[in-house]
Amino acid sequence: MENSVSLTEMTMIARLGISFVAGAVIGFERSSRRQVAGLRTHILICLGATLLMLLSIWLPRKFSLPDRGDPGRIAAQVVSGIGFLGAGAMIRLGNNVKGLTTAASLWLVAAVGLAVGAGMYVAAAATEILTLVTLILLSMLEKRLFPSERNKLLELYYKHDSSPDTGAALKIINGFGIRSQSMDVNQETGKGKGSRLRFLVSIPVSTDISKLAKALKTAGKVARVEIKEKY
């Protein structure tokens, strides 16, 4: 087995080449999903982490201070410093946050780069394979078992002098596979006054909104249905 502390120029170039490929594989998967951090970003992070790990190993030997050198010191700074790039990959859209998986992949590819720089090729390769399984295969399984949802405000406005039929509305909502998180009723009194039934719901992205609205209009004397973003 090669001594990971003994570094030659060819060894360093080989490790940087392996790092380039490792970052490219994960980055290509992220680019294929049109993520803000894609191919080039993952390659650069992986290469940078590998170079810094090589530097951590090389410096103590260069200055003949093997007892004073700490190869883990720069690596620790890489792990903590990658956080600002992960934060930049996350986007807040209304009540939802996108980019968490890409932020995690940036952090992970930095770890892969450090492992390659330290000569831990088997561990880096195993991590790369497990990462691809997670991003590709488990993504398909997750979408099948746990469809993506959007939080919305669902409001039913009833005709004058009519009361909300909460039972009928809930039955329709549940029939569409929608989760109701909360409900409130605004019952106005007086001639010409109507009522409002409001739900905070989690709607699967595959839900046909137009069909849902048509179905809800049959839940009593509904005059208008509104579905809005929850802020």
Q: Where are the domains of the chain?
A: 9-145, 149-229
Is the distance from CB of 95 to CB of 231 less than 8 angstroms?
yes
Distance CA 92, CA 117 (A): 34
pTM: 0.63
Instruction: Print pLDDT tens along the chain (231 aa).
Output: 344 446 788 999 999 999 999 999 999 998 888 887 889 989 999 999 999 899 888 877 776 665 555 667 777 778 777 877 777 776 655 555 677 888 889 889 999 999 999 899 999 999 999 999 998 888 888 777 777 778 888 999 888 777 788 888 999 999 988 888 888 888 765 555 678 889 988 888 878 888 988 898 888 788 889 888 765
pLDDT of amino acid 42: 93
Q: Quickly name the fold that domain 149-229 has.
A: Alpha-Beta Plaits (3.30.70)
Task: Name every residue whose Cβ is closer than 8 Å to that of residue 40 and which is 6 or more positions away in sequence.
Answer: 27
pLDDT of amino acid 71: 67
* Residue indicated by tokens 């600002």: 84
Distance CA 209, CA 216 (A): 11
Distance CA 145, CA 213 (A): 25
pLDDT of amino acid 3: 45
Task: Name every residue whose Cβ is closer than 8 Å to that of residue 229 and which is 6 or more positions away in sequence.
Answer: 94, 95, 152, 153
Distance CA 172, CA 178 (A): 9
